[in-house]
Amino acid sequence: MTDLSALIPPAIQQEPAPALRVVHEPDGIDLAAAEVAAGQFLSALGISTASESLRGTPGRMARAYAELFSPRAFDLTTFPNDEGYDELVLARRIPVRSVCEHHLLPFVGTAHVGYLPGGRILGLSKLARVVEHFACRPQVQERLTKQVADWLQTHLEPKGVGVVIEAEHTCMTLRGVQATGSSTMTSTLLGLLRTDARSRSEFLALTGATS
């Protein structure tokens, strides 16, 4: 009997790689308890919620923080790098929205995420999904930057990964030093984007991290 598999090109024979389902499971959200706690918090600060405009504020606070701490699930879809593309892939100005773990005040900004492809390439929207996945929890910007880079290096296995985040922290602009207009920039470079000077310079120039 003829082995028909020998007549099928290898690219067709290969089974597509299953998408990785990415879900962040919170320890448990109790909106009712959060609403009670929010009301007690406001009361302890001398803010009455008796008026019509403030009566629903504890519940709104609870729902708002629950939303901030709940990233959306997504599938990490990758595709074979059949053409052997070996130049930089970069998604710029990805919105970042997170909460500082020290004061639970928001910090917002943009992320630039790039990689040098290996055997597979990534659906472009997934770069933004990975940023959101790690941003939706109490964070510090330094950790967030490294978590995104490390995660992509582990699951995509590229030749290099680079992440630059620039954000304004309201814990610094609205309180304390009140440094209005200031921003913080962090970066993590892995693989060739760290060790190869040309690749590193190209990435940093395209992100605007260097002039």
Cβ atoms of 139 and 102 within 8 Å: the answer is no
Question: 35, 132, 169, 202: which one is catalytic?
Answer: 169
Active site residue 101: yes
Active site residue 171: yes
* Distance in angstroms (rounded) separating the CA atoms of residues 140 and 159: 27
Question: 35, 100, 139, 147: which one is catalytic?
Answer: 100
* Distance in angstroms (rounded) separating the CA atoms of residues 156 and 151: 8
Question: 24, 157, 168, 171: which one is catalytic?
Answer: 171
Question: 14, 40, 102, 142: which one is catalytic?
Answer: 102
Exposure string over 75-103, b if 16+ CB within 10 A, otherwise e: ebbbeeeeeeeeebebbeebebebbbeeb
Question: 24, 103, 155, 168: which one is catalytic?
Answer: 103
Active site residue 169: yes
Largest pairwise CA distance in the chain: 86
Active site residue 136: no
Question: 14, 40, 101, 142: which one is catalytic?
Answer: 101
If DSSP codes are grouped into helix, strand and coil, which group holds residue 51? coil
Active site residue 133: no
Which residues are designated catalytic? 100-103, 141, 169, 171
